[in-house]
Chains A and B, each alone.
Chain A
Amino acid sequence: MTAWEDSRRPRIVKVDGDFPAERLRKIWEGGPGLAGWISSVDHKEIGKRYIVTAFVFLILGGVEAMVMRWQLGGPDQRLLSPEQYDQLFTIHGVTMIFLYSSPILTGFSNFLWPLLFGSRDMAFPRLNALSYWIYLASGLFIYAGFVTGNGANDGWFNYVPYASKAYDPGINIDVYALGLILLGISTTVGSANFVVTFLRTRAPGMSINRVPILTWGTLSASVSNLLAVPSVSLAFFLLWLDRQFGTQFFTASQGQPLVWQHLFWMFGHPWVYAIVLPAMGMVSDALPTFCRRPLVGYTPVALATVATMALGMGVWVHHMFATGLPSLALSFFAGASLIITIPSAVAVFAWTATIWTGRPVIRTAFLFFASMIVLFVIGGVSGVMTASTPVDWQLTQTYFLVAHIHYVLIGINVFPVVGAIYYWFPKMTGRLLNEPLGYWNFWTMFIGFNLGFFPMHIVGMMGMPRRIYTYGAQMGWGPMNLVISLGALLFAIGVMLLVINIAISLKRGAIAGPNPWSAPTLEWSIPSPPPPYNFAVIPTIESRHPLWEDWLNESPARSRLTEGLLLDRGRETLATSPLDAEPNLVLEMPADSFAPFVLTCGLTGAFIAALFHIWWVVGVGLLIVIAALVDWFWPRRVHADMTASQQGAADG
Chain B
Amino acid sequence: MATQTHVTRRTFLAGALAIGGVAALAGCVTGGSGGGSSSGSGAITLQSSLSDPAPKAALTKLVGEYKGGKVTLNTVAIEQFRAQLSTYLSSNNPPDVLTWYAGSVARDYASKGYLLDISDLWEGDGAAAHYSKALKTLSTDDKGRQIFMPTNYYWWGVFYFKDAFQKWGVKVPTTWDDFIALCDKLKSMGVNPLANGIGSTAWMASGWFDILDLRVNGAQFHRELLAGKHSFDSAEVKKVMKYYAQLVPYFDPDMTSFAWQDAVTPLVQGKDAMYLTGAFISQNITSNADNLDFFSVPVIDKSIPTAEEAPTDGYFASSKTKNKAATKKFLSYLASSKSQQEFIEASKSSNLPTSPDVDTSKFSPLVQKGLKMLNDTKEITQFFNRDSSDALQTTADTALTKFLANPGDVDQILKDWQAAAQKVWNS
A in complex with B? no
